[in-house]
Amino acid sequence: KINHDLVRPQTVIQSGIIGKRVSSFVKKQSAVLEIPASQWESYLGTQPHSEYPSASALLCRATLEHAEVAAKYKLGSGSATVPFNLSVSASTFPEVIRRTFGLPSDSSPVNVYFESLSAMAENCGTSRLWAGVHFRPSVEVGLSLGEGIGQAAFDHVRHLVRGQVPPNCIRCRIA
């Protein structure tokens, strides 16, 4: 983020589409409305630093890659992918999401299924795009930058558990 100074979607929409109206989800009304572009806000708050690359997407990839590596380690090397199924209460979702996707309005369970933790990482990263926090290139680069971190973290801890000094760990060799 230090090498890039790219503005976030909120800045582009508010100052780049002056005098126009946009269709957007408005939190206070919990509805999609036509509003002046100058009033548009991302669904999630944003930090006052460059939007590129998406650190959130990087963390999505690294975290879920680590979970997948750990699961495959426990399940054995023959497991190609680790699917993920999550059951959450429909009341967890905002009303506009329940209406849009035809979810029940009570606390009935809703199942969210991913073919793999890698697919879940993609959705996790892309959620930053959907929330209006990042542009697609930032998410794609963030996901790419996160590749290998989960595996490296798993290997690092595995060496420590075995009483070994992990390769490439300068701090571990100083003691």
Q: pLDDT by residue (tens digit) across 58-111?
A: 999 999 999 999 988 888 766 667 788 989 999 988 887 788 888 998 999 999
Task: Please tell me the distance from the alpha carbon of residue 91 to that of residue 98, in angstroms, as a whole number.
Answer: 8
Q: Are 34 and 22 in contact (CB under 8 A)?
A: yes
With cut-offs at 50, 70 and 90, classify the pLDDT of residue 174: low
Longest alpha-carbon distance in the chain: 64
Q: Are 142 and 54 in contact (CB under 8 A)?
A: yes
pTM for the full predicted model: 0.80
CA distances from 150 to 10, 22, 96, 123, 159 (A): 31, 39, 35, 17, 14
User: 159 in the Ramachandran plot: left (φ > 0), alpha (ψ -120 to 50) or beta?
Assistant: alpha
**Quick one: which of 129, 149, 147 has its CA closest to 137?**
129
Q: Tokens in use for 139?
A: 């998410």
The string of pLDDT tens digits covering residues 25-36 is 888 887 889 999
